[in-house]
Amino acid sequence: MDQQYYKEYYHLERNHWWFRARLEILESMLIKKIAGNQERQLKILNAGVATGATTTMLEQYGMVTSLEYDKECCEFLRNDLNIEVINASLTDLPFEDQSFDLVCAFDVIEHIEDDHLAVREIHRVLKKEGFIFLTVPAFNFLWSHHDEVNHHFRRYTASQLNKIISSQKLQLLHQTYFNSILFPPIFLIRLLSKILPKKKHTETTGSDFEKFNSSDFINRLFYWIFKKEKWLLDKNWKFPFGVSLLAIGQK
């Protein structure tokens, strides 16, 4: 992948309705479930930083170590954004045991074939009573071309993610689906994409980021709808379904 790709993804992470609303929800959950109960700044590992939007958010709550598997992405972060980043895998973390108060992996472990090993490594580097904060795509019946172009191995149910967390001797503190209000249209689009004939020639990847961002109006509308979930989640509402799933655990 070239520098232009990362420049486009940088713009996407900061302007696309899904990334913007998700980031606000993540920050709200971080404050409510983790950082708001801490009297000191946290030592945080942010695994799979992409172009750094989540790292920028997390830096308000502690000292952040950014980790990214893709070498070219690391070069972009260092050279273009002046963000320090460690090039390494979540399944083989270059840190000592009990190094962090919080490990975040936002939409990361679905990209890893051995997700159990990834969570085991998170457990290893967490301090006693440290926190794990994960988000993943939900429900395999939502599998589509979007998952293929983003190199996903799987999507998760709440019970599947809970099983992985608990198997590594981590206590599940909070779990909920999200991106739930927009679940019906997203499900319909993905269902139709499986039924209708696929275009043989296209200049785009065909990911959901393109399908659900066709105009500024759609971008603003979907951001407004998705962001409404933050108000419900702040009141400890737990959605029974959604396009995504989040979980917070503790060692």
Q: How many domains does the chain have?
A: 1
As a whole number, the mean pLDDT across the chain is: 91
Q: Domain with 161 in it: what CATH number? A: 3.40.50.150
Q: What is the C-alpha to C-alpha distance for residues 250 and 175, in angstroms, rounded to an integer?
A: 12
b/e map 45-54, b = 16+ CB within 10 Å: bbbbbbbbbb
Amino acid 201: pLDDT: 45
CB contact set of 119 (below 8 Å; sequence gap of 6+)? 109, 132, 164, 165, 167, 168, 170
Q: DSSP per residue over 38-102, as a string?
A: -SS-EEEEEE--TTSHHHHHHTTSEEEEEEES-HHHHHHHHHHS----EE--TTS--S-TT-EEE
- Between 17-33 and 3-15, two packed helices, what is the crossing angle to 10 degrees? 60
For the entire predicted model, the pTM comes to 0.91
User: Alpha carbon of 113 to those of 87, 131, 164: distances in Å?
Assistant: 18, 23, 13
Rounded to whole angstroms, the Cα distance separating 131 from 61 reads 14
At residue 162, the pLDDT reads 97
Residue ranges in the chain whose pLDDT is less than 70 = 1-3, 197-214
d(CA 23, CA 14) in angstroms, rounded, equals: 9
**Domain residue limits at 246:** 3-250
Which pair of tokens denotes residue 175? 């779990």
For residue 220, the one-letter residue type is R
Q: What is the number of residues in the chain?
A: 251
The rounded distance, in Å, linking the Cα atoms of 70 and 186 is 29
Q: What pLDDT, on the 0 to 100 scale, is given for residue 204?
A: 47
Query: In this structure, what token pair is assigned to residue 4?
Result: 């232009």
The pLDDT assigned to 215 comes to 81
What is the separation of C-alpha 174 from the centre of its chain, rounded to a whole number of angstroms? 16
Write down the pLDDT at residue 2: 55
Parallel, antiparallel, or unpaired for β 86-87 and 62-68?
A: parallel
